[in-house]
Amino acid sequence: MDVALKDLIMHFLVQIFTPYLVAQFFHADLSHIPLQISKSGI
């Protein structure tokens, strides 16, 4: 496989999966925070 193409694919996958993994992490993390913070509008 062409190195440039491989780099492009890896970059593409990172762009997709990084936000997904971050969202999963924060969703799990925020689920432990009291709901009063959500009610304050954050």
Q: What digits encode the pLDDT tens for the residues 3-37?
A: 999 999 999 999 999 988 888 877 767 666 565 55
pLDDT of residue 8: 96
Please identify which residue in the block is written with the tokens 């689920």: 31
Considering its fold, how many domains does the chain have in total? 1
**Residue 42 counted as domain residue:** no
**Residue 9 counted as domain residue:** yes
CA distance 39 to 14: 33
pLDDT of residue 3: 93
For 12-37, give the DSSP string. HHHHHHHHHHHHHHHHHHHTTS-HHH
> pTM above 0.85?
no
**Residue 41 counted as domain residue:** no
Please identify which residue in the block is written with the tokens 């969703």: 27
pLDDT of residue 36: 56
pLDDT of residue 38: 57
pLDDT of residue 13: 93
**Residue 40 counted as domain residue:** no
Domain membership of residue 22 as a residue range: 3-35
- Three-class SS state of 41: coil
